[in-house]
Amino acid sequence: MAIVQSFGAAEEVTGSCHLLKLRNGLRILIDCGMFQGEGEDEKNRQHFGFDPRKVDILLITHAHLDHVGRIPKLVKEGFDGIIVATKATFELAQVVLFDSAKLMEEEYRTRYRKAQRRGEEKSVPKPLYTTEDVEDTWLLTHIRAKYDRPLKVAKGVKVIFRNAGHILGSATVEIRFKEEGKTHKVVFSGDLGNRDDLVMPYVENVPEADMLFIESTYGDRNHKNMKETIKEFKKAIRKTLLNRGNVIIPSFAIERTQEVLCILKDMYRERELPRCKVFLDSPMAIKATHLFSKFHRQLGPKCNLFYKEDGDVFDFPYLRFTCDVESSKKINEIERGAIIIAGSGMCTGGRILHHFKNRLWNERNCVIFVGYQAEGTLGRYIVDGVKWVRIYREEIRIRAKIYTINGFSAHADQQDLIDWIAHIKKLGKICLVHGEREKQSVFKKAIREKVGKRAHIVRPKEKIYL
Ligand code: ZN
């Protein structure tokens, strides 16, 4: 009998990693993500809980770090099977993994130098993996999955990737195999998109499944109305620009940045955007945006309309990409009328800190938070209303107006998840993963009430029999 075990993202939202063992011994790993958040570093260093050398196939649902972030470690520890993902996911994962390795290497060097001065350099843990390890990952066999086309990955095993509408390249994965004369269909949702997402299309339905592993990040709630959210965002932009100020938007490089660009472009087209300069000041977000443009056919209707009407999805006359440090520094000289989009999304590092240092003290400026700010991050402190922040050893008084706009999300909410489940015919077991325990309990109850099915909350490493 086939077994599924979760070695990450069971009763938590990061570290996605599920292993499907078939009766014939074939082992298929679905995602191999990084645990994220304070104090999770140790967990990433721990043993996987299975032998990477014995994994035959790795399927990647999408390129977020919490789904791909431990792949170089998997390869370093002996995995040499085949990797299957959509073409866009491979390209985006490359950007994400190189960026992640670079950050870890930089952090290691800084900590090493500091420890050296105390004579304790031996105590500094080496990076989880390096740029070379990421390069090695690309030497393995890659198979590109096309949406909706069954793909044979081993004898008697087919996979079908369907657009999950979450980020570029994202997919739900169906694994079909025969055991004891019966064809089994196991589905992993990966992360599912938000119905109101401006950039991505709506998640595609899955016709049938014997067993479903579904994410439950927002299984406990429904999102705020998107129209209201966009209205709020536009109002903050207009008010600040008309008041001769500048707008700073801390943003995640993948998906949220492209969504922000879409709204700004829409404002420009509708003549709602006062004359200004929009800077995308993040090398990673620039790379991601180019990839979103390249694969524009996989995006939602709004993006395709933009592409059809002016030959590019995101570009418009006010937009500038500032890749190198020099052009990024030049933004500081602008007195008014700048919209600066920079990372990191939670303000824990990156170019956003320079912009904060230069602009937070001025009451004409504003900061618009468009993404979740985790506890303990600089972004969260600002959202919570602190009056002073310390950036690069300098105390900065916050006089800029702070807007927190909560309605954006790349994840399905409870209603989206329930609707998606309700479309699956002959649905057998429902297993909840990728969610916090309390939220999963609420979601489980909602599934019982609205779909009339029982769902099971998967515990870490628990063996689930097909
Ligand atoms: Zn994701």
Residue in the structure block whose two tokens are 């016709």: 207
Question: Cα dist. 149→33, 124, 156 in Å?
Answer: 25, 47, 16
Q: How far is the CA of 165 from the centre of ligand 1 (A)?
A: 10
pTM of this structure: 0.95
pLDDT at 374: 85
Q: Looking at 138-275, which runs of residues are DSSP E strands?
A: 141-144, 151-154, 157-163, 171-179, 182-188, 211-215, 247-250
Q: Which of 197, 330, 199 is nearest to 261 (CA)?
A: 199
Q: How far is the CA of 395 from the centre of ligand 1 (A)?
A: 35
Q: How far is the CA of 345 from the centre of ligand 1 (A)?
A: 15
pLDDT at 375: 83
pLDDT at 51: 98
Q: How far is the CA of 126 from the centre of ligand 1 (A)?
A: 27
Q: How far is the CA of 135 from the centre of ligand 1 (A)?
A: 23
What's the angle, vertex CA 310, arms to CA 308 and CA 313, rounded to 5? 75
φ/ψ of 290, rounded to 5, equals: -60, -40
pLDDT at 2: 95
Q: How far is the CA of 250 from the centre of ligand 1 (A)?
A: 18
Q: How far is the CA of 64 from the centre of ligand 1 (A)?
A: 5
Q: Are 230 and 261 in contact (CB under 8 A)?
A: no
Q: How far is the CA of 63 from the centre of ligand 1 (A)?
A: 7
Q: How far is the CA of 151 from the centre of ligand 1 (A)?
A: 23
Q: Which of 231, 238, 407 is nearest to 339 (CA)?
A: 238
Q: How far is the CA of 314 from the centre of ligand 1 (A)?
A: 22
Q: How far is the CA of 140 from the centre of ligand 1 (A)?
A: 24
CA 186 to chain centre: 23
Q: Tokens at residue 22, please?
A: 């078939």
Q: How far is the CA of 249 from the centre of ligand 1 (A)?
A: 21
Integer Cα distance of 386 and 375 in angstroms: 14
Q: How far is the CA of 411 from the centre of ligand 1 (A)?
A: 8
Which residues contact residue 433 at a Cβ distance below 8 angstroms, ignoring those fewer than 6 apart? 6, 9, 10, 16, 18, 213, 214, 215, 216, 458
Bridge partners for 5 per DSSP: 19
DSSP letter for 425, please.
Answer: B
Q: How far is the CA of 213 from the centre of ligand 1 (A)?
A: 15
pLDDT at 192: 98
pLDDT at 144: 98
Q: How far is the CA of 255 from the centre of ligand 1 (A)?
A: 10
Q: How far is the CA of 258 from the centre of ligand 1 (A)?
A: 15
Question: Cα dist. 430→7, 53, 188, 387 in Å?
Answer: 18, 29, 10, 47
Question: Cα dist. 420→204, 270, 349, 450 in Å?
Answer: 8, 34, 37, 12
What are the b/e assignments for 90-114, b being 16+ CB within 10 Å? Answer: bbbbbbbbbbbbeebeeebeeeeee
Q: How far is the CA of 14 from the centre of ligand 1 (A)?
A: 9
Integer Cα distance of 350 and 119 in angstroms: 29
pLDDT at 70: 97
Size (the chain), residues? 466
Which residues contact residue 1 at a Cβ distance below 8 angstroms, ignoring those fewer than 6 apart? 23, 179, 465, 466
Q: Are 342 and 260 in contact (CB under 8 A)?
A: no
Q: How far is the CA of 417 from the centre of ligand 1 (A)?
A: 15
DSSP letter for 205, please.
Answer: P
* Domain 3-221+410-465 -> CATH class: alpha beta
Tell me the residues surrounding ligand 1 (ion) with CB < 5 Å. Answer: 64, 191
Q: How far is the CA of 182 from the centre of ligand 1 (A)?
A: 32
- Which CATH number is 226-404 given? 3.40.50.10890
Q: How far is the CA of 52 from the centre of ligand 1 (A)?
A: 23
Q: How far is the CA of 212 from the centre of ligand 1 (A)?
A: 18
Q: In the chain, what are the domain boundaries?
A: 3-221+410-465, 226-404
Q: How far is the CA of 394 from the centre of ligand 1 (A)?
A: 35
Q: How far is the CA of 359 from the centre of ligand 1 (A)?
A: 31
Which residues contact residue 435 at a Cβ distance below 8 angstroms, ignoring those fewer than 6 apart? 11, 12, 13, 215, 216, 217, 219, 443
Q: Which of 31, 39, 41 is nearest to 8 (CA)?
A: 31
Q: How far is the CA of 164 from the centre of ligand 1 (A)?
A: 10
Q: How far is the CA of 94 from the centre of ligand 1 (A)?
A: 15
Integer Cα distance of 455 and 429 in angstroms: 7
Q: How far is the CA of 295 from the centre of ligand 1 (A)?
A: 18
pLDDT, tens digit only, all 466 positions of the chain: 899 999 999 999 999 999 999 999 999 999 999 999 878 889 999 999 999 999 999 999 999 999 999 999 999 999 999 999 999 999 999 999 999 999 999 999 999 999 999 999 989 999 999 999 999 999 999 999 999 999 999 999 999 999 999 999 999 999 999 998 899 999 999 999 999 999 999 999 999 999 999 999 999 999 999 999 999 999 999 999 999 999 999 999 999 999 999 999 999 999 999 999 999 999 999 999 999 999 999 999 999 999 999 999 999 999 999 999 999 999 999 999 999 999 999 999 999 999 999 999 999 999 999 998 888 899 999 999 999 999 999 999 999 999 999 899 999 999 999 999 999 999 999 999 999 999 999 999 999 999 999 999 999 999 999 8
Q: How far is the CA of 245 from the centre of ligand 1 (A)?
A: 34
pLDDT at 296: 96
Q: How far is the CA of 278 from the centre of ligand 1 (A)?
A: 27
